[in-house]
Structure 1
Amino acid sequence: MSNSPNSATRRAVLKNGLAIAGAPTVTGMAATAAPPNGKLVFTYDDGPIEDYTHTYQKAHRREGVPACSAVPSSYVGKSGNLSGDQIQELTDEGWEIMSHSVKHRMLGHITVTRDIAANDQKIYVEENFHGSFPGDTLVVSNGSQSATVTVSGKGSDNRGKFVRVQSSVGQSFTASDEVFTHYTKDVIQTALKKSKRQLEGYGVNVTNIVMPYAGYGKRTREMVDEYYTAVANAESTAGGSPQIMEPSQIRLPHLSRMLFREGSATKSELRTFLDKIASQNGLGILGGHSWWQERLPPSRIRMVIRMAKDRNIDIVTLRDALADFGITTSQTTSATTNAQTTTNRSTTKTDQPGFGVLAALASIGSAAALKRYLTT
């Protein structure tokens, strides 16, 4: 998160309830913060432009609460994706920018589904994500023997999905021996390290990550905490009730997340999820995508935000949740952070009023003006 005075002020106002749509305020009097009652974090993956135009502008800004955008660093500035200026603006508005690798590689392991002969150049797998980038190096392993291969592509036929490799595997494997493919250490390390460095080049602080495709294998687990404080989706649940993490039970970097688009979680399941956060004073993380195909319109996001507000749950970024629980410090930073690029920015690139306006409205106790701001 940006370390600018504006960002710090915004967080203070949000936590005191002044920017909560529908919350009672008295003109000229400071709002009284509700006692802590659990923390909820919203995370959105892949860094599409809709994180800004829909999820931020039409949901979170109107409700006065922050979220986290997990961005593949190579996507920034490309058509249909967040720009560097928008990333900085979201940070100014209290959001957290998280890593989502460099090119959205699946960094975990994938099960091999058919026996492999030594001269095979096709490896049949449950999902062929590891074939997306020709030239990548993969390890094929059953735990006792392994082979390193170079990717040439991917495809599918009547036998299933496969990864194609440049030359023969060189060893035979029996699928029933629990055979997997995973990236080599160099590929994983580059995906973790480079994405953090590239995102921080836009003047934001990146301390947490969401794994693409929820891929979180043994090799990734061994390296991730060298670069990140937490993995928001070390365990992901589509529907149902994932672990609600009480502060004393959190073991970083491994955190649990629930997907909340339509079809993944019903309103009843979300209600149960939020009730547990409130009753246990715990941490809950919701995940989704802002694209229209995801069935996660701003109206659904606002519904969940209001359900959380009804339970006096603090809606914060993951970095702030961990700091507020005393698990990390609020000033967790990296040497490459360049917060100066966002200091003293009080207006946005879209000419909408920035947080400087919001803070000014709050300081004079203008509830009516504040409401007008939040609903524009």
Structure 2
Amino acid sequence: MSDGRLALTFDDGYATDYEDIYPVLDDRDAPASLAVVADWLGEEGHLSVEQLRELADDGWEVVAHGRKHRYLQAHGLAADASAGDERLLLDSDHAFPEADHGLYPEDTFEVTDGERTETVTLAEKGVAAGDAGDPFVRFEAPLGSSFDAEEAVFRPTREQIRDEIEGSKRDLQELGFEPTTFALPYDAADARVWGVVAEHFEALADAAVRSLPNPPGASPLDLQRYYLETDAMRLAEIETYLDGVAERGGLGILAGHTAWDTVPPERVAAVVDAAHERGIEVTTVREAVESDADS
């Protein structure tokens, strides 16, 4: 056996985790880590609480993935903001103006350039008219100061960050789960986010997204992962990744969204089979972290 281990993390708690992937992994005596949002459990296309409990009872790890799947990193501004403005144009691919995730009305944000900071409450998000089609956010009250787009950012407040991270753990605990690992929604964070995760969790599964395994001795709060999805890695690349895990040890973390066409069950089967062929144990993030702590 190799000293290396592989953890598979599947995001968002899709029903396909149970319907399509569970049989594949069960046949191979392999668990996985499921990054779930408690509010989404039981919704159309997502796991039920009962299905999640069954998976947890069979050795799968329940990972906290945010209370509402908020985007926790800063957004740049697409244009300067003036005092009296009630709307900002964002230079961002993660505002999701036409979707019910990422940014939520009634959440609190701050506009800051490092010297001045204003706290605002989001009233609306959308897409601006015109050729640029930049996403916009509108506030419940106008700004009191002006901000230069070259230096200012729009980001969640510390209180909102705490609600997203602490709240995700609390919500899952109320359902009877005890998550010790956090996975960032959208793999997005800053140092404020990282600090709150470190207060409440033992491991962060996606502190970085890189096509390199975690070396032996890597900090559990500084783990990196990559995507096994067909549009991220070809099988030849996955095999090279696993060769590195087998030869050097450490922990590989490969992620995916099982409801997407890019994560067919046969792709997951091929990854697990390739790991086993190299003597790599397929485990969970929690088990890998606990094993390292005991060694």
Alignment equivalent of 2:251, drawn from 277, 283, 293: 283
Contact 2:187 2:207 in 1 (8 A): yes
Aligned to 1:40: 6
AA aligned opposite 1:318:
V
Q: Distance in 2 between matches of 1:96 and 1:265?
A: 24
Q: 1:61 aligns with which of 20, 26, 43?
A: 26
- Would the aligned equivalents of 2:84 and 2:143 in 1 still touch at CA under 8 Å? yes
Question: C-alpha separation between the residues in 2 aligned to 1:281 and 1:132?
Answer: 39
Distance 2:40 2:102 in 1: 19
* Paired amino acid for 2:52: I
Q: Which residue of 1 aligns with 2:203?
A: 230
> Do 2:71 and 2:103's aligned partners in 1 also have CA atoms closer than 8 Å?
no
Partners of 1:41 and 1:236 in 2: how far apart? 14
Preserved contact between residue 210 and residue 233 of structure 1 (Cα < 8 Å): yes
* Counterpart mapping for 1:148-163 below 5 A: 148-157=119-128, 158=130, 159=132, 160-163=134-137
Tell me if the contact between 2:70 and 2:102 (Cα under 8 Å) persists in the aligned partners: no
Alignment: residue pair count: 286
Q: Deviations over 1:21-79 (max 9, x none)?
A: xxxxxxxxxxxxxx34301000000111111101112x211221000110011111222
Distance of 2:272 and 2:221 partners within structure 1: 26
Q: Is the 8 A contact 2:86 2:142 kept in 1?
A: yes
Letter of the 1:191 counterpart: E
C-alpha distance in 1, partners of 2:40/2:65? 10
Mapped pair 1:175 → 2:149: yes
Map of 1:320 onto structure 2:
287
2:115: which partner in 1? 144
Q: Name the amino acid aligned to 2:120.
A: V
Change (3 A) 1:211 1:192: same
How do 1:337-352 and structure 2 match up within 5 A?
A: none
- Cα distance in 1 for partners of 2:113, 2:273 equals 48
In structure 1, the partner of 2:174 is: 201
Is it true that 1:89 corresponds to 2:54 in the alignment?
A: yes
Query: Which amino acid letter does the alignment assign opposite residue 69 of structure 1?
Result: L
Query: How far off is 1:202 after superposition?
Result: 2.5
- Matched-pair contact (CA < 8 Å) for 1:131–1:151: no
- Kindly indicate whether residue 234 of structure 2 is the aligned counterpart of residue 260 of structure 1: no
Compute the displacement of 1:192 (Å): 1.1
Structure 1 runs of 4+ aligned residues shifted over 4 Å read none
Structure 1 residues 281 and 80: alpha-carbon distance in aligned structure 2, compared to 1, 3 A threshold: same
Counterpart CA distance in 1 for 2:52 and 2:186 is 22
The code of the aligned residue for 1:297 comes to: P
Q: Which runs of 5+ in 1 are unaligned?
A: 1-34, 331-376
The amino acid of 1:46's aligned partner reads D
Matched, 1:73 2:73: no
Larger radius of gyration: 1
> What is the match of residue 271 of structure 1?
239
Cα distance in structure 1, aligned partners of 2:119 and 2:179: 32
User: Match for residue 246 of structure 1?
Assistant: 215
1:298 counterpart residue number: 265
Question: Of residues 262, 277, 289 in structure 2, which corresponds to 1:310?
Answer: 277
**Which residue of 67, 75, 95 corresponds with 1:102?**
67
Q: Return the offset for 1:107.
A: 1.6
Q: In the alignment, is the contact (CA less than 8 A) between 1:72 and 1:104 conserved in 2?
A: yes
Mapping of residues 122-133 of structure 1, within 5 Å: 122-125=87-90, 126=92, 127-129=94-96, 132-133=103-104
Number of the residue aligned with 1:371 = none
Mapped partners of 2:277, 2:220: distance in 1: 29
Instruction: Give the direction of change, closer, same or farther, for the CA distance of 1:131–1:210 in structure 2 (3 Å limit).
Output: closer
Structure 2: distance between partners of 1:193 and 1:131: 17
Unaligned regions of 5+ residues in structure 2, if any? none
1:131 CA drift (Å): 7.1
Distance 1:119 1:294 in 2: 46
Asked if the contact 1:68/1:95 (under 8 Å) is kept, the reply is yes
Q: TM-score, normalised on structure 2? A: 0.92
Cα distance in 2 between the residues matched to 1:76 and 1:128: 23
Deviation readout 1:132-189 (Å, 9 max, x if unpaired): 3111110111222211111011111234111121121221111112x22211111111
